[in-house]
Amino acid sequence: MHQLNESDAMPNKDPSNWQALIDLLLNLWPQIYAAGLAMLIALVRAIHAGGRPMKSILEAILCGCLTLAVMPLLAYFGMPQDMAVVSGGAIAFLGVEWVRDRLEALYDKLIGRWLK
């Protein structure tokens, strides 16, 4: 009868995979933290305002995505990645509709006048 050694039982098991996963999470921690906090703040704000559950969840996802979109802009201006937490919290507290309205007004002021 054939005895199974450890290498026969799971031939593709590599113990360094866990370390690679931990390293990946540590490298992505600023993005995870900023987007997660923005999503949590937006979700709590939307539920507190009495919004519908699906709209609240979608608002939270949009705020998390906007926070991730702001991170390269912060790096472009030489600001630390920790500022993404502040900007994400502000975006989540104000809401995506407020951010959209301000960006539309800025677009009209800077670019829209030349396109008319």
Give residue-wise pLDDT tens across range 35-82.
Answer: 999 999 999 999 999 888 899 999 999 999 999 999 999 989 999 888
Is residue 5 one of the residues assigned to a domain? no
Say what the pLDDT of residue 1 is.
Answer: 55
Is residue 84 one of the residues assigned to a domain? yes
Does the pLDDT at position 8 exceed 80?
no
Read off the pTM.
0.75
Is residue 79 one of the residues assigned to a domain? yes
Crossing angle for the helix pair 83-94 and 96-107, nearest 10 degrees?
Answer: 100
Is residue 39 one of the residues assigned to a domain? yes
State mean pLDDT over 2-10: 58
By residue range, what is the domain housing residue 89? 20-115
